[in-house]
Amino acid sequence: MARSRLEKIGTIYSRTKGLLQSGALQWEDRPIWYDLYEAFPPIEEPRYDRPAPNIPIRKIFYEEDKVRALFHNRNKHIGTINMFNNTSTTLTKKFIQAYTTLDEKYKGEVSQEQLYEEAIELVQREKQKFSKAEDEISLVSSFKQAQAKQDSGNIPIKVSDLFKD
């Protein structure tokens, strides 16, 4: 019985409004979206039988998307990134910056393959330059520092106790 009312009889708004008016749903228990829907009702009521608008889909590709696709197609395993770290740039962004810089420098005189190889070399040189700073912040060094503090007696918890069943 309840299946027949799924989408065909009224909208979710009209059914919720009916529940509130009949007292089956308390005003305090109304959905979060209810007040927003009443304040800003849609231009057309969202019904299941309304035909979809025939609007052409715009292409929203940027020039850097081609470079990004080239980089990711050739480098499948580039590792993970920390989305919470806003201070460092990703490897993909570094590659795109190097590629566009080289493309502007050569102004179309060099093939895409040569630009790709040279941009990879630039990114790798930059990565080697900053590898010492990254080593200091790595997880292994952090773990060694924690073990050193534990050995000195500053931390009463043993790391081996954390992973016991």
Residue 27: predicted pLDDT: 94
Shared domain check, 11 and 91: no
Q: How do residues 98-118 score in pLDDT, each as one tens digit?
A: 999 999 988 878 888 889 999
User: For position 25, what pLDDT does the model report?
Assistant: 94
Do 83 and 30 share a structural domain? no
Are 67 and 47 contained in the same domain? no
User: Any idea how long the chain is?
Assistant: 165
Structure token digits, residue 121: 């070399």
pLDDT in the model for residue 1: 41
Q: Report the distance separating Cα 118 and Cα 116, nearest Å.
A: 6
Inform me whether the pLDDT recorded for 51 exceeds 60.
yes
Tokens matching residue 45: 């009521």
Per residue in 124-150, pLDDT tens?
888 777 665 555 455 555 666 666 665
Number of domains the chain is built from: 2
Q: Is the pLDDT of residue 40 over 90?
A: yes
Residue 165: inside a domain: no
Residue pair 79/91 in contact (Cβ under 8 Å)? The answer is: yes
Range(s) of the domain holding residue 104: 63-152
Residues 68 and 141 in one domain: yes
